[in-house]
């Protein structure tokens, strides 16, 4: 396993090709007044594409991303890309920050500094972390897995070895949302002696064994919310877990198609009142999309759904997670499970926070809140 510095260096030819493709977009029709009801709104996507083509400065965003120290580590013949920021404090905890879909390591750009160097951001140096923020294998600038079965367990194994075998940490912590939460949970199972604690924004749960026991009001409410999500919002996942390759031909070829597929989710899963730019700028939305476009990672990122649908590898049935666990839930994200159901999976829940605002991408949407939450959860674990 080797490690080497990495810098994002986009060829001019790739940007010229992107501009030509944006100019030649073949726009679909849309029912007048339907806006986002059928999917990504044509008027907004035309506005975003026009900004992308004429005003968006990728070179400026590239320079911003390259201000972070980035590396690639070769593990089993494939590269894993990651940002690393050393903590400035008396006893920094090594902390993995793990994104999900359709996100990238860029999601954490606002919290890396405050977590690594609290004193420079009005905090206590005692709360410092050594930050490692990878691109999940198959995402961004990490290599795409070239084998079947590269699911959550496969990813967790490589990221655990990145922290221990490559970076040399004897113990480390992890935080994740979406697929990052699934990988975080799996790390606790696969590396129980090395993992100090885990923090997630999506918790596992296991219902009571008796089918005759009536559901609590909280559990019934969550069931109804999940049923609504399955009916109205789950189409993307059904496609990605069954036929991701067919989808990829269009998204890998059309930048507007890719942006529509991703930005629609950023709008829907964000606490933005239906106006995505109340929370994220066009530059932020497009920087995330650009990482998918330039790396060609939309197919391999979607393939993770296929792998986990056909061969789930997260936490084995009946097994419990014994390392200290904390969770934070945001109202526009997936509904939290009843705590008593989560306690059947996690034997040591230390923190369970339900916020009144926020959504699926809290590191970018509510960075101050997430930084405070992570500091508070890990503070008792530092000794």
Q: List the catalytic residue out of 81, 175, 199, 360.
A: 360
Q: List the catalytic residue out of 44, 305, 306, 346.
A: 305
CA distance 172 to 287: 29
Nearest CA to 256 out of 35, 18, 55 is that of 18
CA distance 196 to 79: 26
What are the tokens at 78? 């494939």
**37 Cβ neighbours under 8 A, 6+ residues apart:** none
The H-or-E segment that residue 133 falls in is: strand 129-134
**81 catalytic residue (yes or no):** no
Residue 93, φ and ψ in degrees, nearest 5: -90, 130
A 10 A CB-CB count for 377 gives 22
Strand order in the sheet with 349-354: 2-5, 70-75, 78-85, 129-134, 93-98, 172-176, 195-200, 325-329, 349-354
CA distance 107 to 175: 13
Q: List the catalytic residue out of 117, 127, 157, 178.
A: 178
**305 catalytic residue (yes or no):** yes
**360 catalytic residue (yes or no):** yes
CA distance 123 to 141: 32
Rg of the chain, C-alpha, whole Å:
20
Side-chain-side CA neighbours of residue 298 (13 Å): 27
**Which active-site residues does the annotation give?**
178, 305, 360
């Amino acid at each position: 396993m080797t490690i080497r510095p990495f810098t994002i260096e986009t060829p001019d030819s790739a940007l010229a090709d992107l501009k030509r493709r944006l100019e030649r977009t073949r726009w679909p029709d849309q029912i007048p007044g339907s806006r986002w009801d059928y999917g990504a709104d044509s008027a907004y996507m035309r506005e975003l594409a026009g900004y992308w083509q004429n005003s968006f400065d990728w070179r400026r965003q590239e320079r911003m991303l390259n201000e972070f120290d980035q590396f690639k580590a070769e593990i089993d013949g494939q590269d894993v890309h990651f940002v690393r920021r050393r903590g400035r404090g008396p006893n920094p905890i090594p902390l993995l920050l793990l994104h999900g879909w359709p996100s990238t390591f860029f999601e954490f750009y606002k919290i890396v500094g405050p977590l690594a160097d609290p004193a420079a951001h009005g905090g206590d140096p005692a709360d410092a972390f050594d930050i490692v923020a990878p691109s999940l294998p198959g995402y961004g600038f990490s290599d795409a897995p070239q084998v079947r079965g590269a699911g959550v367990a496969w990813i967790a194994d490589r990221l655990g070895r990145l922290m221990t075998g490559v970076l040399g940490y004897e113990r480390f912590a992890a935080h994740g949302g979406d697929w990052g939460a699934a990988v975080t949970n799996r790390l606790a199972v696969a590396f129980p002696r090395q993992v100090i604690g885990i923090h997630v924004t999506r918790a596992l749960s296991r219902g009571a064994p008796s089918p005759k026991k009536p559901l609590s009001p909280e559990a019934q409410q969550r069931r109804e919310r999940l049923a609504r999500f399955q009916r109205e919002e789950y189409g993307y996942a059904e496609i990605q877990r069954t036929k991701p390759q067919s989808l990829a031909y269009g998204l890998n070829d059309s930048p507007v198609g890719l942006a529509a597929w991703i930005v629609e989710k950023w709008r829907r899963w964000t606490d933005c009142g239906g106006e995505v730019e109340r929370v994220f700028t066009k530059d932020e939305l497009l920087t995330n999309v650009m990482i998918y476009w330039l790396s060609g990672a939309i197919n391999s990122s979607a393939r993770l759904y296929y792998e986990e649908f056909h061969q789930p590898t997260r936490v084995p049935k009946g097994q419990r997670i014994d390392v200290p666990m904390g969770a934070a839930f945001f109202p526009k994200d997936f509904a939290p499970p009843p705590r008593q159901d989560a306690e059947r999976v996690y034997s040591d829940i230390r923190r369970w926070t339900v916020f009144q605002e926020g959504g699926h991408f809290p590191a970018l949407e509510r960075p101050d809140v997430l930084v405070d939450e992570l500091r508070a959860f890990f503070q008792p674990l530092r000794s």
